[in-house]
Amino acid sequence: MLLLFVLFFEISSGPITWLYMAEIMHDKSLGIAVVTNWTVNLGIAIGTPYLIDAVGDDHVGYIFVVLGAITFLGTLFIKCFMKETRNKTP
């Protein structure tokens, strides 16, 4: 299941963040965006074990359903609000 997650993440919205930042942002805003991205990733990585302990072993799946829903909402945001960058690089 982990390999399937990585596969689908890497062929969907996973690399879009990095590609979009490289195409659209200037140096200072790119730095802020990268720090924000890694900070959120670190927060999820550190917080997930505490959430698992808090909900108990029987309800661990709910955490991943919530994280999956957040990912789905992020994908909708990308689809609806982010501009296409193909052939627009100066």
37-85, pLDDT tens digit by residue? 899 889 988 998 898 899 988 888 888 888 888 888 887 887 888 777 6
pLDDT of 35 over the 90 cut: yes
Asked whether 67 and 44 are in contact (CB, 8 A), the reply is yes
Alpha-helix residue ranges (DSSP H) falling in 1-90: 2-10, 16-24, 27-55, 60-81
pLDDT for 12: 75
Q: What's the one-letter identity of residue 64?
A: F
pLDDT for 60: 86
pLDDT of 89 over the 80 cut: no
Q: How many residues does the chain have?
A: 90
Extents of the domains making up the chain: 13-81
How many CA atoms does the CB half-sphere of 73 hold within 13 Å? 6
Please calculate the CA angle 8-10-12 and round it to the nearest 5 degrees: 65
Asked whether 85 and 18 are in contact (CB, 8 A), the reply is no
**Which of 10 and 50 is assigned the larger pLDDT?**
50
Tokens encoding 87: 């052939």
